[in-house]
Structure 1
Amino acid sequence: MTDQMRVGIVGAAGRGMGYRIPATEDDRVTVQAVCDIVKEGAERAREAFDAKESYTDFHTMIWEAPLDTVLIATPVEHHVAQSVAALKRDLNVLCEVPAGRTVDECKELVQAVEQSSGTFMLAENDVFRREWMLVAELVADGRFGDVYYARSERVTNGKDHIEEALWRRTWRVERNGITYPTHNLGPVGRWFPDDRIDRVACAGSGHHHLDPRGDSYDQEDTVVMLAKTENDCLIVHRQDILSERPAAGYRFELQGTDGCFESAAHSNDAHRISLADQSGNERNWQPLAEYEDAYLPECWRDIPDIARETGRDGGDYLVFEAFIDAIVSDSAPPIDIHEGLDMTLPGLLSQQSIERDGEWVHVPDSRAW
């Protein structure tokens, strides 16, 4: 690697544009090349990233441009194929979520990571959200005692959003089950250290809505997945992107023997927490923010103001910086292939469960592949 890491960004005119600030502000990085299948988009991205080259074909870029690293910000159907191609070139890969579409694809990705000298990281930005990282720090310090239950929800009025791009419709509502799990299972997984989801059961509420053309969705309106971990903890996840309602975004609960947490139900509410040792035997809610002085991770204490202009109030910035830090220090990335699959595979197996009328289905551990 040269003095500056030479990065190529594919999907640069779309989702890749969310990384413009960290990619152009980090002096350890130079954006060598950008790629987008629309020529005008590729040129627009080249100017935005001050890149040296632009391409409309990913494989041409990774073979012709002098790169150390590739950032993959394309639709999900390209994630594994493009990651594998880059890893075979021994390039470092930061890939958008989810990791893959099928179990077989995920196996192919694991094999490529193991055979490559490049570093792979899944770019799950919600793991880096300020509040969810703060809860993870409290869990790690034992303030929740033994955690045994979590609930998460992704509730959005997303019909217009999925019509904006064919890939969103194909991979989120033209199959049934939990089709977009990582933004929820990523943070929750950090709250169950040394544990992983071992089996899932999934059921839906039926079909009550039609698309703008009057066709039915394969996805049921509300889908709920029960998950049991290897340590017999319970996780409940709800996905609803089709119901007519104001969007509620992401919501979380965590329960342990010594504490509990509930995320804000609405934008004007506060995240709240109750810990056993805060006031003797009396259990009261406190704002989660009251624990920031003692537990806020260093990455959030030192985050520059410009980072807050990126997605997830700075999450996109921290994902990119954590990836670059890992490569420069030759250390394991914060979300390696196996943690990435821990938050991807339960969703894929939920789709098998819902086809079998809610039957419990085992979630394979990619570490054993």
Structure 2
Amino acid sequence: MTDQIQLGVVGAAGRGMGYQIPATEDERVKVEAVCDIVQEGAERAQEAFDAEEAYTDFHTMIWEASLDTVLIATPVEHHVAQSVAALKRDLNVLCEVPAGRTINECRDLVEAVNQSSGMFMLAENDVFRREWMLVAELVSDGCFGDVYYARSERVTNGKDHIEEALWRRTWRVERNGVTYPTHNLGPVGRWFLDDRIERVACAGSGHHHIDPRGDPYDQEDTVVMLGKTENDCLIVHRQDILSERPAAGYRFELQGTKGCFESAAHSDDTHRISFADRNENGRNWESLEEYADEYLPECWQNIPDIARDTGRNGGDYLVFETFIDALVSGSDPAIDIHEGLDMTLPGLVSQQSIDSDGEWIHVPDSREW
């Protein structure tokens, strides 16, 4: 693509607003239309994005507005249907996470991507977090040796967050298992290079909380998913959004034959790393930041100041910019449909496993569909 990209944003007054800075600052992009189901929100977003048109219906927008690209920032129950509709019109799609709610939905999405001339990219912003990209560079350079274990956690008291937007309840806690995996499995997947989770087993801690209406959550308070990769590595993921506790956010560990990494446990802590050929044979910790001068990716070395005002400390900016870069250059998207499903499907299969008393269940490879 050489001309200015004509962008439509759906969910523009909600999550879509997180992309307002890159969408309006990038001269390669013109926000042609915005869409929100609430008229007032659509009008507010039209002003914020300096858009030509505002809609309250997505299908009307993609048929009537002059678009070649759409950003889908709606609740997850709309991701696949809206992505498929846009791809059938050969529009490029940047879609929020997770990719879909069911395996059948994900199959429909792959079919639409395969039959469309439009590009699809999953907007997993945590893949672009500064610290996780720095770890990925160290892995790629062999500093960890062969990685064979990772642990990730998403731990926060999210009950109030769910009540503020009840659609979150529908897909986060009205089903059991790992319902929101991509912010964790995205970065971890980059650390395991060409490997992918091939089977999972999932178990929970039981039900100990009720919602403000006195109804129990279908989601167990803490769920833990074990994942085995095609190369027989182990990935452990914990999701807990119901327990009474201070938020700990996202936490990670990575272990290889030559080194290990542990993310900060709390806001006043530091990300730490240790390698066998340094620090008294790997028996002491260093700050991850010690490696930034040598290994920080170029996209973070040159990131503009305005990017830090976007979500994930710049992650929203970079996920949008890499998508636009791919459209302009004709290169592959940074997170294509298959990588996007590598971080989505294990969570969906975990929901089958927890319903089957922790049975190990195969995770399909979308590349074979």
Alpha-carbon distance between aligned partners in 2 of 1:347 and 1:281, rounded to the nearest angstrom: 37
The answer for the alignment partner of 1:241 in structure 2 is 241
Alpha-carbon distance between aligned partners in 1 of 2:336 and 2:242, rounded to the nearest angstrom: 32
The answer for the alignment partner of 2:4 in structure 1 is 4
Q: CA deviation at 1:2?
A: 6.4
The answer for the alignment partner of 1:303 in structure 2 is 303
Question: What SS does the corresponding residue of 1:281 show, helix, strand or coil?
Answer: helix
Alpha-carbon distance between aligned partners in 2 of 1:320 and 1:193, rounded to the nearest angstrom: 23
Give the TM-score of the pair, scaled to structure 2. Answer: 0.99
Alpha-carbon distance between aligned partners in 2 of 1:95 and 1:120, rounded to the nearest angstrom: 8
The answer for the alignment partner of 2:108 in structure 1 is 108
Alpha-carbon distance between aligned partners in 1 of 2:322 and 2:307, rounded to the nearest angstrom: 13
Q: Which runs of 5+ in 1 are unaligned?
A: none
CA contact (8 A) 2:181 2:347 kept: yes
Query: After superposition, what is the alpha-carbon deviation per residue over 1:107-133, rounded to whole angstroms, capped at 9, x for unaligned?
Result: 000000000000000000000000000
Q: CA deviation at 1:278?
A: 1.8
The answer for the alignment partner of 2:59 in structure 1 is 59
- 1:231 aligned partner, one-letter code: N
Alpha-carbon distance between aligned partners in 2 of 1:164 and 1:184, rounded to the nearest angstrom: 23
Alpha-carbon distance between aligned partners in 2 of 1:49 and 1:215, rounded to the nearest angstrom: 40
Query: After superposition, what is the alpha-carbon deviation per residue over 1:40-74, rounded to whole angstroms, capped at 9, x for unaligned?
Result: 00000000000000000000000010101000000
Query: After superposition, what is the alpha-carbon deviation per residue over 1:124-176, rounded to whole angstroms, capped at 9, x for unaligned?
Result: 00000000000000000000000000000000000000111121001000000
Q: CA deviation at 1:277?
A: 1.7
- 1:80 aligned partner, one-letter code: V
Alpha-carbon distance between aligned partners in 1 of 2:320 and 2:247, rounded to the nearest angstrom: 28
Query: After superposition, what is the alpha-carbon deviation per residue over 1:288-334, rounded to whole angstroms, capped at 9, x for unaligned?
Result: 00000000000000000010000000000000000000010101001
Give the TM-score of the pair, scaled to structure 1. Answer: 0.99
CA contact (8 A) 2:259 2:282 kept: no
Alpha-carbon distance between aligned partners in 1 of 2:74 and 2:281, rounded to the nearest angstrom: 52
The answer for the alignment partner of 1:200 in structure 2 is 200
Q: How does 1:121-136 map to 2 (within 5 A)?
A: 121-136=121-136
Alpha-carbon distance between aligned partners in 2 of 1:283 and 1:28, rounded to the nearest angstrom: 49
Q: How does 1:144-223 map to 2 (within 5 A)?
A: 144-223=144-223
CA contact (8 A) 2:251 2:263 kept: yes
The answer for the alignment partner of 2:21 in structure 1 is 21
Alpha-carbon distance between aligned partners in 2 of 1:54 and 1:2, rounded to the nearest angstrom: 25
- 1:28 aligned partner, one-letter code: R
Distance change in 2, residues 1:286/1:2 (3 Å): closer
Q: CA deviation at 1:3?
A: 2.1
The answer for the alignment partner of 1:269 in structure 2 is 269
Moved over 2 A (4+): 279-283
Alpha-carbon distance between aligned partners in 2 of 1:325 and 1:275, rounded to the nearest angstrom: 35
- 2:98 aligned partner, one-letter code: P
**Aligned-residue RMSD, C-alpha:** 0.7
Aligned length: 369
The answer for the alignment partner of 1:82 in structure 2 is 82
Alpha-carbon distance between aligned partners in 2 of 1:301 and 1:27, rounded to the nearest angstrom: 21
The answer for the alignment partner of 1:313 in structure 2 is 313
Question: What SS does the corresponding residue of 2:281 show, helix, strand or coil?
Answer: coil
The answer for the alignment partner of 2:290 in structure 1 is 290
Alpha-carbon distance between aligned partners in 1 of 2:281 and 2:323, rounded to the nearest angstrom: 43
The answer for the alignment partner of 2:254 in structure 1 is 254
CA contact (8 A) 2:2 2:328 kept: no
Distance change in 2, residues 1:354/1:51 (3 Å): same
Question: What SS does the corresponding residue of 1:118 show, helix, strand or coil?
Answer: coil
The answer for the alignment partner of 1:333 in structure 2 is 333
Distance change in 2, residues 1:149/1:42 (3 Å): same
